[in-house]
Chains A and B, each alone.
Chain A
């Protein structure tokens, strides 16, 4: 129930100026992991666009031509199902990782985290550590401040533009894009996306930072639905740490009635979202584990055991489980179900990708003229076949057609297309053809099937079938037999 409390004359603002956070740099195992992922993801992002494959860009999403090149694969709009599969796999991976250890994506691999890490590194290299940065921001404007700020933003902008350029390079061949950029010959959309993506990088990683995670990211809001008491989250061991308090390294905390927490506030200083992990799990926590690295260093200096702040589960902390017990509970049925579905979908997708035919054919029946009477016994229908060669080499094809036994002598009427035709690499061709039949006892719509076969003369050919309908006018049945 919402109890109405009498309102007093106290004004409260529902909006406030953001307090800038100056996170203290941190070193340790988890920071190393993050940097490893920064390098891995960015090496792929900045590097992959330059890779060549069979004389073309290895990974290129050619939107104008509606062809996606991914190494040896050429995906056509008809292959959109693989995009759906990819999204399903991404979603399931997210479920799996979140069920195991919470916001692993946020803490280590999310572009927001990755670029903020890079931008913070640049900031620290130019302006100094978190104390100097805060001091510089407080100081009055002067030549030194202007020079430092200009240098920082200059490097940020350069990196952002390069990021935008690389992004566009996945949609326009990057080598041509490079040439066009140098000669100021970029198209309007290329210019827009380069600047827009660059601006988004600069704004999000340079200025917005934790605000993106706290106020804008939808994923941050729904993932708590995927947590349960057996999910590994960054946890402050309050039982061990409290009561917190400063003390000399030589002093015995027990004698002083203190817990392991020395209240040094390092965990707060290193936090990129500015929270105190000792207050428990909070929605702002992106799971970056900076506080674990920070606290472990302090514990080491104090000569205490590490892990006052650690990856642990709600159940493990409550029941004081050991590592083995906790790990057993983390690998719960839910996690195994996620893994099983992931493996099944991955295997299915890989199999269909492997078996994917380089040929595609759409059969479009002429609807305007249902059927034609050619002579006393023959009926003719017209079809438009769109034959697509998704392979990166030309193929020669031949076409044939088959019908049910009710349709006698089904065949492609001579002289329409050439019996053999060639289609250039990754292109398509429309073939108009007539199919004739001598219907015995059939009327209305009858099934027929087109067969498209490669005749390249080398290796096993590829054959595909496509179903369609053959229309026999009413009252025609049996007429064919009279002759």
Chain B
């Protein structure tokens, strides 16, 4: 496992390192004694005409420390990688050390997750300790897209509104997190032309009771057949495909006519990454339970004033 671009550099670096260490040793030997003129008490260094520098020898153990570091460096280079691309007798790598640390951590945290291993996701969702762990996991791994309060943002689904693209059963949520989801709305602009797209947009707005041009909506309704394959004949969506319900107030990318036109013309690509590898099933279980719990809580909203009197 060499990072050098050519075989030569391995020898070059290794030789340079060894020569440097040898030079240090030679310097130590040369500098432990010196030859002086007459007075052994003085160093023969004379400054400003008559200022003699006296010899104040360091204790012997001091030079031993230098020798120890010199030999230590040789031992180090024998055991650890450092001498060119020589991997060292200890075969140490940072990747291996990281893997070991992960293993230790897994072993340490396993009992925490083991408690919930057998439990049903709905039971886990009701467990206050599981919720706390779930919240921490959520804040670490999910907030980048779904926001700290899990209400998402433009293009990222709100997880608290009880409206689900791929189904709101805890098992389905767990599957979404484990294996990820890929939502694909094809671009229909070229096939339909701008006028037909605008008609469709008005029809879609009419489905959820928004202001619309009735004439265009009527024309759009006829063309909706090609949308019905995914969104259903009534526009109610299909959780099997992740096709959103177009008749409710929830809009992933925006409800304005301009936005809907853009959505139909260019299509949309949504990607929820898979977390099976990254987090492992034990953590995902707690996350799924936490997210499921969020949507449950939303059903019986308690206003702030009411909590205050408790």
Contacts and interface: CB of A to CB of B under 8 A. Distances in A.
Interface string A253-265: 0000000000000
A10 B42 CA distance: 11
Nearest to B47: A2
Contacts of B33: 11-14
B154 interface: yes
B57 A13 contact: yes
Given A2-B47, A5-B37, A366-B147, A15 B60 contact: yes
Contacts of A382: 147-149, 151
Given A215-B59, A369-B152, A415-B304, A12 B36 contact: yes
Nearest to B303: A414
A3 interface: yes
A396 to B, nearest CB: 11
B59 A434 contact: no
Contacts of B153: 368-370, 372
A1 B145 CA distance: 71
B266 interface: no
Contacts of A6: 37
A314 B272 CA distance: 80
Nearest to B59: A18
B2 interface: no
B57 A7 contact: no
B40 A12 contact: yes
Given A368-B153, A420-B308, A13 B32 contact: yes
Contact of A434 (B37, B61, B151, B310): B151
Contacts of B303: 414-415
B45 interface: yes
Nearest to A418: B307
A141 interface: no
Interface in A411-455: 412, 414-416, 418-420, 430, 432-434
B27 interface: no
A206 to B, nearest CB: 14
A5, A6, A11, A412 pick with most chain B CB within 10 angstroms: A5
Interface string B48-76: 11000001011111110000000000000
Contact of B37 (A8, A16, A215, A414): A8
A48 B60 CA distance: 39
Contact of A14 (B45, B58, B144): B58
A7 B48 contact: no
B80 interface: no
B57 A384 contact: no
Interface string A365-377: 0101110100000
B5 interface: no
Contacts of B149: 366, 382, 416, 432-434
B36, B305, B310 pick with most chain A CB within 10 angstroms: B36
A10 B33 CA distance: 10
Given A9-B35, A14-B32, A3 B46 contact: yes
B35 A7 contact: yes
Contacts of B61: 18
A1 B139 CA distance: 69
A345 to B, nearest CB: 39
A29 interface: no
B95 interface: no
Given A366-B148, A369-B152, A12 B45 contact: no
A16 B144 CA distance: 65
A17 interface: yes
B38 interface: yes
Interface string A328-340: 0000000000000
A303 B102 CA distance: 79
Given A1-B47, A419-B304, A430-B139, A18 B147 contact: no
B150 to A, nearest CB: 8
A14 B55 contact: yes
Contacts of B38: 8, 10
A414 B149 CA distance: 13
Contacts of A8: 35-38
Given A10-B36, A11-B35, A368-B144, A2 B151 contact: no
Contacts of A2: 45-47
A2 B44 CA distance: 10
B93 interface: no
Nearest to A3: B46
A15 B35 contact: no
B148 A432 contact: yes
Contact of A17 (B37, B45, B59): B59
Interface in A348-392: 366, 368-370, 372, 382-384
A8 B39 CA distance: 10
B34 interface: yes
B44 A5 contact: yes
A15 B64 CA distance: 10
A17 B60 contact: yes
A366 B59 contact: no
A171 B33 CA distance: 46
A224 interface: no
A76 to B, nearest CB: 20
B215 interface: no
Interface string B123-159: 0000000000000000100011101110111101000
Contact of B304 (A17, A211, A366, A412): A412
B1 interface: no
A34 B263 CA distance: 85
Contacts of B45: 2
A450 to B, nearest CB: 15
Interface string A1-45: 111011111111111111000000000000000000000000000
A2, A10, A15, A16 pick with most chain B CB within 10 angstroms: A15
Contacts of A14: 31-34, 55, 57-58
Contacts of B46: 2-3, 5
A415 B37 contact: no
Interface string A168-210: 0000000000000000000000000000000000000000000
Contacts of A368: 143-145, 147, 153
B149, B154, B304 pick with most chain A CB within 10 angstroms: B149
B240 interface: no
Contacts of A414: 301, 303-305
Nearest to A369: B153
22 contacts: A3-B46, A8-B37, A8-B38, A10-B37, A14-B55, A15-B32, A15-B59, A18-B61, A215-B58, A368-B143, A368-B147, A369-B154, A372-B153, A382-B147, A414-B304, A415-B302, A415-B303, A419-B304, A419-B307, A430-B139, A433-B149, A434-B151
Given A7-B44, A370-B153, 13 more contacts: A12-B35, A14-B31, A14-B58, A15-B58, A15-B59, A15-B63, A16-B59, A17-B59, A215-B59, A368-B145, A382-B147, A382-B151, A414-B305
Interface of B: 31-38, 40, 43-49, 55, 57-63, 139, 143-145, 147-149, 151-154, 156, 301-305, 307-308, 310
3 interchain residue pairs of minimum CB distance: A369-B153, A16-B57, A18-B59
